Amino acid sequence: MNITQRYRWLYKPAVFIIALLPLARLVAGAFGIAGISLGADPVNEILHECGKTALQLLLITLAVRPLVRLGRLHNLLRLRRMLGLFAAFYALLHFVTYAWLDQNLDFQAILADILKRPYITIGMAALLMLVPLAVTSTNGWMRRLGRRWQKLHYLIYPIAILGVWHFWWQVKADIREPLAYAAILAALLGYRVVVKARSVSATARGRSADPAP
């Protein structure tokens, strides 16, 4: 099997199945399959599982580029779109759980909540930015948008920041978990800043080495 076949027949299906495991656990819990239970507050369990999975997948998506550079694993880029799409999928499920199971589709109450509770406002902002990224993730949109596609997809950074902030803001006492997410995000963003600074200074050095016209 060459590398393209390995990605198509092994790695992509494996990532697809692994990314569906949290959903499979929730479905099994909701129907009491295999003795799996969602505990005393199933709605809260679904909300939390989808929220955390969305955030984890966002951070994994952001980690692809550094892994490609550091490990010379260029082919990992082939998995990035699927990871990002699953992040958007779980974020959407998280919102649907909140709107439907928690708020009974009472849109007035949802709007009031978005306006009143800052962590909900932040979550909503993150979701609203994530949707256009998911929609424009296809090759067709990539072609249509050209250079603007890359610019639009830089939104993944503010989305991840808002996602971590949204998590942090709602935690009442023990901040260890959101702190861990914030530390991973800071490392990923720090890495990007260093790479960018290096490329800017390399370009500047290249220019100053150019002979005068």
Residue among 19, 63, 79, 91 that touches ligand HEM (CB under 6 A): 91
Query: CA–CA separation, 168 vs 143, rounded Å?
Result: 37
Query: Is 78 or 121 the residue whose CB approaches ligand HEM more closely?
Result: 121
CB atoms within 10 A of CB 163: 25
Q: How far is the CB of 77 from ligand HEM (least distance, A)?
A: 22
**x/- map, 63-82, ligand HEM, by CB under 6 A:** --------------------
Q: How many residues are present in the chain?
A: 213
Query: Is 6 or 48 the residue whose CB approaches ligand HEM more closely?
Result: 48
End-to-end Cα separation, the chain, in angstroms = 52
The answer to the question of residue 95 lying near ligand HEM (CB under 6 A) is: yes
**Cβ neighbours of residue 184 closer than 8 Å, sequence gap 6 or more:** 59
**The token pair that represents 32 in the structure block:** 């009491």
Residue among 60, 123, 165, 184 that touches ligand HEM (CB under 6 A): 123
The answer to the question of residue 25 lying near ligand HEM (CB under 6 A) is: no
Query: CA–CA separation, 82 vs 97, rounded Å?
Result: 22
Residue among 26, 46, 47, 63 that touches ligand HEM (CB under 6 A): 47
**Cβ neighbours of residue 57 closer than 8 Å, sequence gap 6 or more:** 19, 83, 84, 86, 87, 90
Rule CB under 6 A: which residues touch ligand HEM? 47-48, 51-52, 54-55, 91, 94-95, 98, 114, 120, 123-124, 126-127, 130, 159, 163, 166-167, 170
